Amino acid sequence: MRQLKYPYIKEAFTLTGKARFAIYFFCSLLIIAVIVLVQKRNAHDGRQNSAIEEEYHREAPRDWRQNINEEYRLRAEQIVASMDRSTLAAQVLLASVEGRDSVPEMTRQLLSQIPVGGIIFYGHNRSSTVEQTKSFIEELTLCIAGISVPPFIAVDQEGGRVMRFREGIILPAPLSYWEKLLETNRAVLLNTNRYEEFQAAMEAVFVAIENDAAAAGRELRNTGVTWNLAPVAETLMAQNQGVLKDRSYGPYPVFVAGAASAFIRGMHSGGVAGTLKHFPGNSAEDPHLDQAVLDVSEKELEKLMDTFAETIYRENPAAVMLSHVIIPLWDSKPCSLSPIAVKRLRDMGFTGIIMADDYFMAAVETPVDICAVEALAVGVDMIIVWPQYLIKAHNAILKAIDTETLTEARIREAAERIVYQKIRYDIMR
């Protein structure tokens, strides 16, 4: 009986081996099919769930010089070469002024003595009519000694609650564009199979943003404004929503980058320089009221900076404004005084003006004149100064050059970037 069993057992094992091979082969095909399907699904869903990674995997400019107009650069270099130290030190200052319908005598004397590179308007400078504002700007410009290098005239005209001029075209709050998109496309957004449809809806909103910004830009330029300190390019998130609120274009990075790019394009077509802010971001603390700290990982920080990198890549904006937030991952300094922040921005291929947010905030305890010198030394190009600190800041820069705390070459570099943008936006030739 045993001898009769062995052949059957051997045959059974043989059949089992063949069956096992067939099963293995079938399972392998099934696994491959599943992997292919998952990869296809992930590629599609990734655009919805990880769109920031999908959209930003572009090769950054390999050579920063591709963003430079050589004719403008040489002209800026010639103009700055003719400046003495006092004029150089003035060119890197963006000063606020007193007055509104007419220029006070003290302001007139101050601007004649220190021909600043730019004048920033705040709410207290706003006249009751556009014509009065235009006349006031023309009068201010004529106060600048050496009118061959006229000043930038700058405002914060973001839209919504941050609008220095409220006559004429009123820009909506940036967040309202995202809210309107959600309101009309929520079902599309929630369905990952309809991402292309949602992307088309976003593109339509970007066109609207660009058109709104272009119309506002033309109106600003007609008034005499040449530089808009907007848009906010920060993605709205838990850490900053209490501070930014409706000043951000929303919580979706791809939309924020597209919206910021559209705003820059619109302002540019209207003849007004734009500014991305506040690099690399804000924290939960309002820098106007308290020291601001953003304690995040490198990965989280990269995500915050992605919207800036993408907009710089697309639009080559005139300026980027540094925030006062402290990032422990980098150093213990506010980003507006941090060499690391400046380097990270330049590493993105940015060639324009790096400016600091207003140092007259609670987030920065250092006096403005000291901040001006420290900021310029680490690579910041332009400093906002209130009228009561203008002489002190100007003198501090001159003293720093004399004592070699600052090199004259560094100030010339900053001034060249500023004059370059003035040529680019036809403020001077």
Both 122 and 168 in one domain: the answer is: yes
Note the pLDDT tens digit of each residue in 233-242: 999 988 888 8
Both 250 and 135 in one domain: the answer is: yes
Query: Residue 257 contacts by C-beta under 8 Å, 6 or more apart in sequence?
Result: 55, 56, 233, 306, 307, 310, 311, 314
- CATH at residue 325: 3.20.20.300
Q: Is residue 25 part of a domain?
A: yes
128 pLDDT band, cuts 50/70/90, is confident
Both 218 and 259 in one domain: the answer is: yes
326 pLDDT band, cuts 50/70/90, is very high
Give yes or no for residue 37 having a pLDDT over 50.
no
d(CA 79, CA 18): 86
Rounded average pLDDT over 374-385: 97
Q: What is the pLDDT of residue 188?
A: 67
Q: Is residue 199 part of a domain?
A: yes
Rounded average pLDDT over 255-280: 97
Rounded average pLDDT over 128-145: 88
Q: What is the pLDDT of residue 377?
A: 97
**Global pTM value:** 0.84
Give yes or no for residue 5 having a pLDDT over 50.
no
Q: Which domain holds residue 10?
A: 1-49
393 pLDDT band, cuts 50/70/90, is very high
Q: What is the pLDDT of residue 190?
A: 64
Both 124 and 184 in one domain: the answer is: yes
Contact 319, 352 (CB under 8 A): yes
Rounded average pLDDT over 180-185: 86
Rounded average pLDDT over 210-226: 95
177 pLDDT band, cuts 50/70/90, is very high
Helices within 348-407 (DSSP H only): 368-378, 390-402
429 pLDDT band, cuts 50/70/90, is confident
d(CA 226, CA 353): 14
Could you tell me how many residues make up the chain? 429
For the chain, give the mean pLDDT: 85
Three-state SS for 59-113 is CCCCCHHHHCCHHHHHHHHHHHHCCCHHHHHHHCEEEECCCCCCCCHHHHHHHHH
**Out of 34-43, 166-175, 302-311, least confident range:** 34-43
Both 255 and 140 in one domain: the answer is: yes
d(CA 27, CA 33): 10
Task: Name which residue leads in pLDDT, 402 or 42.
Answer: 402
CA atoms within a 13 Å half-sphere pointing along the CA-CB vector of 238: 3
Both 76 and 189 in one domain: the answer is: yes
64 pLDDT band, cuts 50/70/90, is very low
Number of domains in the chain: 2
Q: What is the pLDDT of residue 198?
A: 82
Both 90 and 166 in one domain: the answer is: yes
**Out of 60-64, 184-188, 327-331, 379-383, least confident range:** 60-64
187 pLDDT band, cuts 50/70/90, is low
Q: What is the pLDDT of residue 19?
A: 53
Both 34 and 87 in one domain: the answer is: no
Highest mean pLDDT among 114-118, 119-123, 145-149, 283-287: 114-118
User: DSSP per residue over 321-339, as a string?
Assistant: EEP--B-TTT-SSBGGG-H
d(CA 240, CA 399): 38
- Look at residues 322, 316, 406 and name the one whose alpha carbon lies nearest to residue 361: 322
* AA identity, residue 66: Q
The token pair at 169 is 């075209």
Contact 154, 353 (CB under 8 A): no
Q: What is the pLDDT of residue 30?
A: 53
Q: Is residue 58 part of a domain?
A: no
Both 43 and 189 in one domain: the answer is: no
Q: H or E segment at 345?
A: helix 339-347
Both 30 and 145 in one domain: the answer is: no
Q: What Rg value do the Cα atoms of the chain yield, rounded?
A: 28
Query: Residue 183 contacts by C-beta under 8 Å, 6 or more apart in sequence?
Result: none
User: Residue 410 burial (CB < 10 Å; 0-12/13-18/19+)?
Assistant: middle
Both 1 and 27 in one domain: the answer is: yes
Q: What is the pLDDT of residue 274?
A: 98
Give yes or no for residue 172 having a pLDDT over 60.
yes
191 pLDDT band, cuts 50/70/90, is low
Both 200 and 233 in one domain: the answer is: yes
261 pLDDT band, cuts 50/70/90, is very high
